[in-house]
């Protein structure tokens, strides 16, 4: 959704813009082509390989300043490295990049046989998907699959995982895929596979917690009139973003029974996109992975 991001995010052609999920640097390059020569572009990503790629890919972009490796939820700990603490546009493109999905060593996809890792930043340590699958109780596994995958067969799948690991450790994507295929039959099998892999990826990386943490931080880093854009790929992310924008767009937050406002609360955001922006049909055909993308944009108000 590059064109949509450029059209919605830019408010100052000579301003500063921050991509919190920089990936390969594609959105920053697109922004650079619509911005003036004195604009400044920055990026972060928790995937060190992505940051290395961005630094290489954007060497020829005049407005690009730097990119650093950090979980976007910790953006406040590195922003001083940029030399400015306020931005005119901040972007979050959630989910996985095609590079990550297609890398058979990362364990994100059921289409490759690889170790069950799923960590965005393996160098940072932490538990892998295999660690969770082989250690958690059945109830905890079911909770992960139901909450983060919104999978109706969560209880059956958790039970199948526990039964299988009594025989052998579940260590590869092929192991997990076989369990799902044996448990869920028929037309919904592929969807269940996608949901299970999504569930463990979210759990491993703490994605929803990170999103809840970063949204208020991103708001604080915006200049008045600056815009926050978030591309979500599933309903869990999109609901968090929608609720955040709605909550921060409210004026009075006094209880309804109060006869007059005493809180003096002022709205901090204004929704630019009343409804989500979806990819154009041509983009969906060219890149089927973009079909589920949903863009929301809000503008920071002067309080």
pLDDT tens for each residue of 19-60: 999 999 999 999 999 999 999 999 999 888 889 999 999 999
Inside any domain, residue 66: yes
Q: Do 200 and 211 share a structural domain? A: no
Residue 108 belongs to a domain with what CATH number? 1.10.150.170
Helix (H, G, I), strand (E, B) or coil at 16: strand
Count how many domains the chain has.
2
Q: Which residues have a Cβ under 8 Å from the Cβ of 129 and sit 6 or more positions away?
A: 107, 116, 117, 118, 176, 200, 201, 203, 204
Residue 264 pLDDT > 70, yes or no? yes
Residue from 42, 31, 90, 86 nearest 66 by CA: 42
Inside any domain, residue 118: yes
Q: Do 139 and 175 share a structural domain? A: yes
- pLDDT attached to residue 102: 63
Place of tokens 């911005």: 35
pTM exceeding 0.85? yes
Residue from 3, 1, 55, 64 nearest 29 by CA: 64
Mean pLDDT across 286-292: 74
Q: Do 226 and 81 share a structural domain? A: yes
Last residue in a domain, options 149, 177, 205: 205
Inside any domain, residue 25: yes
Residue span of the structural domain in which 133 resides: 104-205
Q: Which residues have a Cβ under 8 Å from the Cβ of 241 and sit 6 or more positions away?
A: 211, 215, 230, 232, 296
Inside any domain, residue 70: yes
Residue 254 belongs to a domain with what CATH number? 3.40.50.150
Q: Do 214 and 194 share a structural domain? A: no
Last residue in a domain, options 182, 205, 228: 205
User: How many CA atoms, within 13 angstroms, populate the side-chain half-sphere of residue 180?
Assistant: 24
Residue 257 pLDDT > 90, yes or no? no
Inside any domain, residue 16: yes
CB 229 within 8 A of CB 295: yes
- Bridge partners of residue 269, in order along the sequence: 300
Last residue in a domain, options 172, 205, 238: 205
What length is written for the chain? 303
């Amino acid at each position: 959704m590059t064109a949509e991001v450029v059209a919605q995010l830019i408010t100052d052609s000579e301003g500063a813009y921050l991509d919190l999920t920089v990936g390969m640097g594609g959105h920053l390059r697109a922004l650079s082509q619509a911005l003036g020569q004195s604009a400044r572009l920055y990026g972060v990503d928790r995937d060190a390989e992505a940051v290395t790629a961005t630094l290489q890919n954007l060497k020829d972009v005049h407005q690009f300043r730097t990119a650093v490796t950090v979980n976007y939820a910790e953006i406040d700990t590195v922003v001083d490295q940029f030399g400015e603490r306020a931005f005119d546009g901040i972007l979050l493109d959630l989910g996985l990049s095609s590079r990550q999905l297609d890398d058979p060593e990362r364990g994100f996809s059921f289409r490759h046989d690889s170790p069950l890792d799923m960590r965005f930043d393996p160098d940072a340590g932490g538990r892998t998907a295999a660690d969770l699958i082989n250690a958690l109780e059945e109830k905890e596994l079911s909770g992960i699959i139901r909450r983060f995958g919104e999978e109706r067969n969560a209880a059956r799948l958790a039970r199948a995982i526990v039964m299988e690991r009594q025989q052998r450790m579940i260590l590869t994507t092929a192991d997990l895929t076989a369990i799902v295929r044996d448990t869920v039959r028929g037309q919904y099998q592929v969807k269940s596979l996608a949901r299970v892999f999504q569930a463990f990826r979210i759990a491993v990386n703490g994605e929803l917690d990170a999103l809840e943490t970063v949204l208020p931080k991103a708001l604080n880093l915006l200049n008045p009139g600056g815009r926050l854009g978030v591309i979500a790929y599933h309903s869990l992310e999109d609901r968090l973003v929608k609720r955040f924008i709605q909550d921060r767009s409210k004026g009075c937050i006094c209880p309804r029974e109060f006869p007059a406002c005493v809180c003096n609360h002022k709205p901090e955001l204004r929704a630019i996109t009343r409804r989500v922006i979806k990819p154009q049909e041509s983009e969906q055909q060219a890149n089927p992975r973009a079909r589920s993308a949903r863009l929301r944009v809000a503008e920071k108000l002067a309080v």
